[in-house]
Amino acid sequence: MKRIAVLTSGGDAPLMNAALRAVVRKAIYNGLDVYGIMYGYAGLLKKEIKKMELGSVGDIIHRGGTKLYTARCQEFLQPEVRAKAVEILKEYAIEGLIVIGGDGSYRGALELTKLGMPGIGIPATIDNDVLGTEFSIGFDTALNTVIEAIDKIRDTAMSHERTYVIEVMGRDCGDIAQWAGVAGGAETVLVPEKPIDINATIERIKRGHERGKKHSIIIVSEGVGNAVEIGRQIKDICGYDTRVTILGHVQRGGSPTATDRVLASRFGSRAVELLCEGKFGHTVGIIKNEIVDMEFENALKMKKLSNSSLAELCDELAI
């Protein structure tokens, strides 16, 4: 393999730059030419492709967002459009493509692999919902942003003796909420993986009040539903002063944590190695602290790897 390309696709995550840097540097270290494709699959179709040099990825390891920009591309679901994409890559003499993104981006890379353009996937999303890995890059950074916000909200919750409902991102995956619940000392965490029991939540808040704790933190994952409505129900039933904070897109940006930067660097490096070893159509991931790889088909068939014992721990500690 002499020439590869890299793109970032789907929703952004604060670590895409660090992974991009690792791919470019590792490729050049191994004597490969490396091209960056702007705006994901959409940019590929428009031939927004440029050669990357060592300096192209300088000063980005600490920056959120993605220097290559990211996009979604509905057209890519059509087989003839993907065939055109392969033609374009071949026109540039590109022999392998590293895709930094989520499950949808993996599906695109899998289809390209089937058409003879080897793809490798690097899991990047704050939601931590990518299959075939315990952790995606961006998750730790988003989690730390959430914890910083919870700590600040806790100060004001305590001063005013208020109950705060804090909505965090995650789509259908409750990992940000669950981890933030443990790290932020929340009374209750509501996640989409478990049926919501509003009465149990209220009982828990009331128990706290009875033992003199007049402020509470309830974390609601966005996939659960309407945090404002949950706050209203708590206020109506308990009569406690209740406020709702929706953290929103602040969770998607910011300077990445050291843990995430190291993970992104390990993933980027391994992705290039896989192409060099001729292991095509694979994802990289981390399981039990080991960097692993598996075929896209196997990763996409897997159940989400999750740490369900955290839910129990959160309940036990918030007794």
DSSP secondary structure code for residue 46 in this structure: T
Q: Do the beta carbons of residue 120 and residue 280 sit within 8 Å?
A: yes
314 to 174, 246, 271, 311: CA distances (angstroms): 13, 21, 35, 5
Among residues 233 and 306, whose Cβ is nearest to ligand ATP? 306
Does 101 bind ligand ATP (CB under 6 A)? Our answer is yes
Per the annotation, the verdict on 103 as an active-site residue is: no
- What the block records as the tokens of 230 is 């949950």
Amino acid at 280: F
> Nearest to ligand ATP by Cβ — which residue?
104
Binders of ligand ATP in range 102-131 (CB under 6 A): 102-105, 107-108, 111, 125
Binding-site size, ligand ATP (CB under 6 A): 17
Quick one: how far is CA 20 from the chain centroid? 15
Closest separation in Å from C-beta 104 to ligand ATP: 2
Residue with tokens 């895709």: 99
Among residues 125 and 242, whose Cβ is nearest to ligand ATP? 125
What would the x/- binding string for ligand ATP be over residues 144 to 173, using CB under 6 A? ------------------------------
Binders of ligand ATP in range 5-34 (CB under 6 A): 9-11
Cα gap 135→257, rounded to integer Å? 14
Cα gap 217→188, rounded to integer Å? 7
Q: Do the beta carbons of residue 45 and residue 108 sit within 8 Å?
A: no
Does 65 bind ligand ATP (CB under 6 A)? Our answer is no
Q: Do the beta carbons of residue 98 and residue 117 sit within 8 Å?
A: no
- What the block records as the tokens of 116 is 């003879």
Closest separation in Å from C-beta 101 to ligand ATP: 4
DSSP string, 150-209: HHHHHHHHHHHT-EEEEEE--TT--HHHHHHHHHTT-SEEE-TTS---HHHHHHHHHHHH
Among residues 105 and 178, whose Cβ is nearest to ligand ATP? 105
Closest separation in Å from C-beta 174 to ligand ATP: 15
Set 12, 33, 103, 127: catalytic member? 127
Q: Which of 27, 32, 34, 73 binds ligand ATP (CB under 6 A)?
A: 73
Site stretch for ligand ATP (CB under 6 A), options 97-105, 184-192, 196-204, 226-234 = 97-105
Site stretch for ligand ATP (CB under 6 A), options 22-30, 101-109, 204-212, 248-256 = 101-109
Closest separation in Å from C-beta 158 to ligand ATP: 35
Dihedral Cα 247, 248, 250, 251, nearest 10 deg: 90
- What the block records as the tokens of 118 is 């080897």
Q: Which of 14, 22, 49, 76 binds ligand ATP (CB under 6 A)?
A: 76
Closest separation in Å from C-beta 192 to ligand ATP: 15
Closest separation in Å from C-beta 69 to ligand ATP: 13
Site stretch for ligand ATP (CB under 6 A), options 4-12, 48-56, 200-208, 268-276 = 4-12
DSSP E strands: which ranges in the chain? 3-8, 33-37, 49-52, 96-101, 119-123, 163-168, 188-190, 216-221, 242-246, 282-287, 290-295
Q: Point out which residues bind ligand ATP (CB under 6 A).
A: 9-11, 41, 72-73, 76-77, 101-105, 107-108, 111, 125
| Catalytic center residues | 127
